[in-house]
Structure 1
Amino acid sequence: MLGVLGGMGALATVDFLGKLVRSTPAMCDQDHIPMIVRFAPSIPDRTAAILEKGPDPLPGLREAAVSLEKAGATSIAIPCNTAHFWHPALQAQTSVPILHIADAVVDALPQHCFRNVRIGLLATSGTLSAGIYQERLARGGFVCRLPNEKRQTEIMRAIRFVKAGQLAASAVIMQEQLEDLLEGGCHYVVMACTEIPLALTSCGADYKRFLIDSTEALVGACLKLHLSRTAQQVY
């Protein structure tokens, strides 16, 4: 059973669940992945904590992860990139494997591009400050490019718009930041915050072919694990 530690944010969790259901090769209800969702919006802001401007989310994350394990989860997915700053600490608290969203993205990259290309990152300031993606991309042979300080401020504003349900306002800002990264020489751009795909849903096909969705990458990792376990049960 898949455990989903969600609520960070609300729309992003629903987006993850929808993509997981739509991506599952199911012919009937029984073919879908059994799951339990812990919707925990009360967990403190992750970026604020990383930047030392807010309370520690780890106790809330730990409690939610343990509750999923007790409920029968055999793996856990967290559709929030910034929360993965605490991935090592969380994994140390449970024997249930917690899938890592950034590892899922790096694993998906060879399907999209070749090595030694420039990868732009659209993410929260907490994710960028924690280096959740930069080291992994470098190990994979990719060159990473980040927005400048002014543009990062705009990205955070756009993410807050998504959390407030103002998708149209977010889309205008986020598309401008995407265009800046592409014009700056990026071959692909990772949407390394699960709010961002919601903002860029309406962008044209000319842009979408350059985008890598971290939510979809996590969905792919969940499906891969589920299908491998299902195959083992069959044989």
Structure 2
Amino acid sequence: MREKGQKVLGVIGGMGPLATQLFYKMIIDKTKAHCDQDHLNMIILNHASMPDRTTAIKSGDVEELYHKLLHDAKFLEVGGADYIAIPCNTSHLLVDRLQKSLKIPIINMIKEAAMSLYCRHGENFKLGILATDGTIKTKLYQNECKALGITAVVPSEENQARVMKIIYDGIKDGNPVDMKDFYEVEKEMKEAGCKCVLMACTELSCFKEINNLSDFYVDAMEVLAERAIVLCDKSLK
């Protein structure tokens, strides 16, 4: 696929498939293009059978997950990718470790999303984080936000259970989401004084699009898509 003057984006997808589909759509929709040839060359690996990331983190054993991610990353590297994007927030627990074994860069969605918010709002503001138990437990976003002077606010235990219900029983399982659950989480974030809320799970990215949520909700995967376009020398609309 490698052609002179054209960079290739490799995508480790399937976590979940609906989120990967949305990520691809974001790349297409956000690229300034007038014909097929203006779009970004991509290798999309839809590894739907990848072990559940939160389950692996909670079990304390992420080795199977790591080795499968590494295998996929190496596949993309050999296939000619210049950059790798992983549209799955929880998997980013392993990005630094994966990067040590690769010759091409992984675009770090956690760092890119946090920096985007910092550039937009500066420091000393409260940011709500909606994510899987795995992402919350490993403090991926909390640590990144702290380094930038941003105060990360995570849901209460009760509302975190609601977030997981939205992700797993709703989006991943293909079922309607009880919006009462979402409004309870939203109420807590607003009462905590959050200036905005980060959708830090790609299923929540899908949820945002399906429900046409306001700009109060910032999508980490959207930031990843925009950064990937720019790094691969294409222009944003």
Regarding TM over 0.5, the answer is yes
**Quick one: percent identity of the two aligned structures?**
35
> How many matched pairs?
226
Contact 1:104 1:217 in 2 (8 A): yes
Q: Does 1:13 align with 2:20?
A: yes
Per-residue CA deviation, residues 51-86 of structure 1 (Å, 9 max, x unaligned), is 116763111111111111111111100000000001
- Work out which structure has the larger RCO, using CA pairs closer than 8 Å and 6 or more positions apart in sequence: 2
The alpha-carbon deviation at position 172 of structure 1 amounts to 4.6
Q: State the match for 2:32 in structure 1.
A: 25
1:224 to 219, 227, 230: 230
Q: State the match for 2:221 in structure 1.
A: 215
1:83 to 86, 91, 96: 91
Structure 2 CA distance for aligned equivalents of residues 121 and 33 of structure 1: 30
Structure 1 CA distance for aligned equivalents of residues 107 and 180 of structure 2: 32
Please say which of residues 172-181 and 91-100 is displaced more in the overlay. 172-181
**TM-score, normalising length: structure 2:** 0.89
Q: Which runs of 5+ in 1 are unaligned?
A: 231-235
Contact 1:106 1:136 in 2 (8 A): yes
The alpha-carbon deviation at position 150 of structure 1 amounts to 1.2
**TM-score, normalising length: structure 1:** 0.90
The alpha-carbon deviation at position 26 of structure 1 amounts to 0.8
Contact 2:130 2:197 in 1 (8 A): yes
Q: Which runs of 5+ in 2 are unaligned?
A: 1-7
1:165 to 170, 174, 179: 174
Pairwise CA RMSD of aligned residues?
1.8
Q: State the match for 1:194 in structure 2.
A: 202
Contact 1:75 1:98 in 2 (8 A): yes
| Superposed structure 1 runs of 4+ greater than 6 Å apart | none
| 2:157 counterpart letter in structure 1 | E
Per-residue CA deviation, residues 86-139 of structure 1 (Å, 9 max, x unaligned), is 101211121110000011102211454232110000000100111111111111
Q: Does 1:39 align with 2:27?
A: no
| 1:210 counterpart letter in structure 2 | F
Structure 2 CA distance for aligned equivalents of residues 5 and 23 of structure 1: 20
